[in-house]
Chain A
Amino acid sequence: MLTKRIIPCLDIRDRRVTKGVRFQNNVALGDPVEMAARYCAEGCDELVFYDITASAEGRPIDIAMVAEVARAVRIPFAVGGGIATLGDMSRVLLAGAEKISVNTLAVRNPDIISQGARAFGSQCIVLGMDPLAVEDRRAFPSGYAVTVKGFRERTDLDAVAWARRAEDLGAGEIVVNSVDADGTRAGYELRLTGLVAAAVGIPVVASGGAGRPEHLAEAFTAAHADAAIIAGMIHTGEYSIPRIKAALSAAGIPVRMTW
């Protein structure tokens, strides 16, 4: 049986892992390569790295760091932030990453999804989206608007419509990172995650808001997520990956228990 994936997210700023609430008040937590190796040894199923300042500062992603991570871990990982062209994607993949996450870039230029999928395969192209709950149901039938640039800018894209479009363009997976839940540790945005999971045939990853193992369990059952991203709850040391997995397994959720 396919197991549900637990994916630690490492936000990188100046080559340090940081964590903030809604992209604000970031504090440094440690070295990305060391943290990746540790989470891998503790049984995480995949990793994701976001170079959170690369696109804002208009500089390319840190390829040397990607290459170091690839040497340090034997599990798949995705990289996002600071990817602007097919050439950037190619460099990240050649450095040893499995997947590229596109977010703002895909909103500005949706064709990058199909170009990336054609060049490297759909499984490489992850659409990351940062939806925000909105009142205006006429403009946003799902009740969620896609934001870009680290939540700073709202677009006119409906979150569910955008997910379907990305699937049509050839995305292999969709990460739904709720603006409202991000950093709160009060639980994932289950309604939104469930809407996207029901709308597309590709895997959907819940992101934003995980604070306790029950939150992951809800994302996998109520919202039908295929994977869940965690950050603060493990970065602070409050929970370990084995403890989260043990809780999920006890709740009857299929997770990888030996590594």
Chain B
Amino acid sequence: MIVIVDYGAGNLTSVRLAFEAAGVPATVAADARAVREAARVVLPGVGAAGAAMRNLNALGLVDALRASVARGAPFLGICLGAQVVFERSEEDGGVNGLGFLPGTVRLFRPASRWDKVPQMGWNAVVPRRAPGGAAHPLFAGIAEGSEFYFVHSYYPAPSAEACVLAETEYAGVRFASAVGRDNLFATQFHPEKSGRAGLQLIANFAKWNGKS
């Protein structure tokens, strides 16, 4: 079963409906055991990193998520759920994350007054290609440079290049809009709200074997 983790961070309905639209059953759960035993885990989230980490700790989900990722269960982080997998975030005066990926999460600091924060809207996502030419399997069947829906003020800045799986440009930064390693994949954008391309990514995740 796919478990969508409910840790009080925003709208789970859209994520659940997207899996439903992809024809894949997914359940929403907040208890550690369900997360630990899930075949696949989705960590969604909107809102602030500090509150998100507090909730994950209070619900006893930090160890469950760590165990699930260590066991090799495919993991999909979305938006804030992609930010808390890093070691640290600049948000809320500095917050320690789950540390599944090396690096930090940084605030957009645009030079132009017309680059608004949050970035809100559809922006092109360009997958990185391996020397053989293949993008990450979760981008299978998605046209190069397809636009996805973003809403965020902070962006992932992995300290290991190998963790950058796709890139997007905004406010003078080329940032990592999809990140991951092994069985972990996370997007700064919202695949559940990104039309056909997003639905394809959701469907790809549902059948992904966790190998990158």
Contact = CB atoms under 8 A, between A and B. Distances in A.
B97 to A, nearest CB: 17
Interface size class of B (residues with CB under 8 A): 35 or more
B199 A172 contact: no
A17 B54 CA distance: 42
Given A74-B199, A96-B17, A201-B116, A2 B123 contact: yes
B195 A75 contact: yes
B43 to A, nearest CB: 16
Contacts of A122: 118
B118 A95 contact: no
A120 B21 contact: no
A1 B172 CA distance: 10
Interface stretch (B6-14, B69-77, B133-141, B203-211): B6-14
B180 interface: no
Interface residues of A, number: 37
Contacts, number: 103
Contacts of B162: none
Interface in B40-58: 46-48
Contacts of A45: 121-122
B198 A121 contact: no
Interface of B: 10-11, 13-14, 17-18, 20-21, 46-48, 113-114, 116-124, 143, 146-147, 149-152, 169-170, 190, 192-196, 198-199
16 contacts: A2-B119, A2-B150, A3-B121, A3-B122, A40-B195, A71-B20, A74-B196, A75-B194, A75-B195, A121-B46, A123-B46, A201-B116, A204-B116, A224-B114, A227-B121, A259-B196
